[in-house]
Structure 1
Amino acid sequence: MTTATTGESTRPASSRAQDPARPRTKRAYNRDRRRSNLLTVILWLLALYFILPIAWLAIASTKDNADLFSTFGYAFGHFNLFQNLQDVFTTSNGIYLQWALNTVIYAAVSAIGASFLATMAGYAFAKYRFPGAKILFSVVLGAIMIPLTALALPTYLIFSQFGITNTPIAVIVPSLVSPFGVFLMRVYAADAIPDSMIEAARVDGAGEFRIFWQVGLRLLGPGIVTVFLFALVATWNNYFLPLIMLNSSNLYPLTVGLAQQQATSAGGGGSQALFSTVITGSAVSIVPLIIAFLFLQRYWQTGLASGSVKE
């Protein structure tokens, strides 16, 4: 006596296992398998590379001149932070406050101008087709490869012909040019602003500048913040350009002013030892940059998350 069997039961087990229609069991995600000990060690070394200098600066700013040379770099000595802070803001009739104000003006104006110009140029390269666009963009890419120190002396010779050296303009105007910012905004604008949105705005009667101002700037926010922070840090930490452009100590930024104090202390000859004052002033000078990064990093996170989910 024979019994009827279904097609499923007569199929061999191997064919049933290879059937794409059958649901497959998913393996549980194992976080340990995704770990790499080598990458972990490299990340810790990189973290120490960036953290140790800041830790040394924070510890050294609490020492006096004697402890700076008699104690280990990462060991605390006599706690002298408050006296060091008082010396920072009272030495040479409080010239540090003038240097800090100069630095804020130079960095803020340069960063705002550089980010705005880079945004307009990047938007134009990404969304418009005009004769010579590829050549101009190639020039921008080539300008990224040129170090800024190589352009400082020719810039000084040009500015001296116009008589604008030893003025804030001599520091701000060269800082408005950011080839890397133009490249970054060109790449970002190409994907962040859909061409269909621009065409829809044109159909509604909006002009090109209005489209850029009301549509483009809103979508390019994370990229603008990125360029702004790069330009802000570059101008804030710029040393060589203000050194050759400025002669008056009242116009110095913090980088040049603190370097002059350091040179005075190292020169000796009966001059006042300002080693702890210079180190504490350097520690105070990085606080605004830390605040700027902590305040603006949310815009980076928003930009990274945008476009990650399909609708």
Structure 2
Amino acid sequence: MLPYQILEEAETALGRNLTFAETIWFKYSSQKSDYFLYCHNTIFLFLFYTLVPLPYVFMELMQSKNIDKFEIQSKVKNSFPDMFRCYKTVMQTFVLAVGPLQLFSYPVIEWVGIRTGLPLPSGSEMFWQLLVYVVVEDYTNYWLHRLLHCEWGYEKIHRVHHEYTAPIGLAAPYAHWAEVLILGFASFLGPLMVPRHMITFWLWMILRQAKAIETHSGYDFPWTPTKYIPFYGGAKYHDYHHYVGGRSQSNFASVFTYCDYIYGTDKGYRYQKEVFGKLKEKLRSKGEENGDAYHIFAQDLKSK
């Protein structure tokens, strides 16, 4: 909670007028506890995984040829009951796993010093902090994800997430409750290492969830802004990991692909890219759908 009762007190303490953003923040947060502000992350989680995947749900149900041509695994279709079942399971996991985590993690957040007061961080400060969070999460998530693909980790925990061999946006957090906690640690590590303002923390969590939904969307749109981010994996990159399934030892990356490249866990995907174009042209010459090429190639990998 801010230590100021009125706006003028805050301006006197800072020795300047508040910016427009700081004024909004003061009016919103001045009478709210730090714990309540921290709990916004749970609210964002429920709202994001309810609202953001909806366009993908509508596209799946529409079955429009103009949209389906961008679907990575066009042979796989999900009904509304199937998708609602997925959503319901995800919400139950959030209640059972994320709720308790919220209670136990706040003392750590308070101890490391994530602040809620004034002044607010500048745009450049937030950018560099978020970049650190992304890199830390990406590297940690890579190894935790890879660990979950060992025999015990996969059979006991990670196989739940791989029930969707053709990912959909709603299934981004569809996982065993233990996996939610294990991979959640990777998301928290950056803010714990470089603690700054609660707004930066909020923004990081929002970006993290938006990224997860996009990479699990099942659609590869050529105009997606993330295609302009160097070394960004994206939906097609992660879709390969899901299709190959439990035996997959490739494409563990959370955001960027550099770990897979450095540690050689993208060889199958790179081989696919090398031969996929030729197979795609061959099928196209026979008048078959583009999606068949991916399906046939990945099925061939499964059988090896």
TM-score (norm 1): 0.29
- TM-score when normalising by structure 2: 0.29
> Which of 1 and 2 has greater Rg?
1
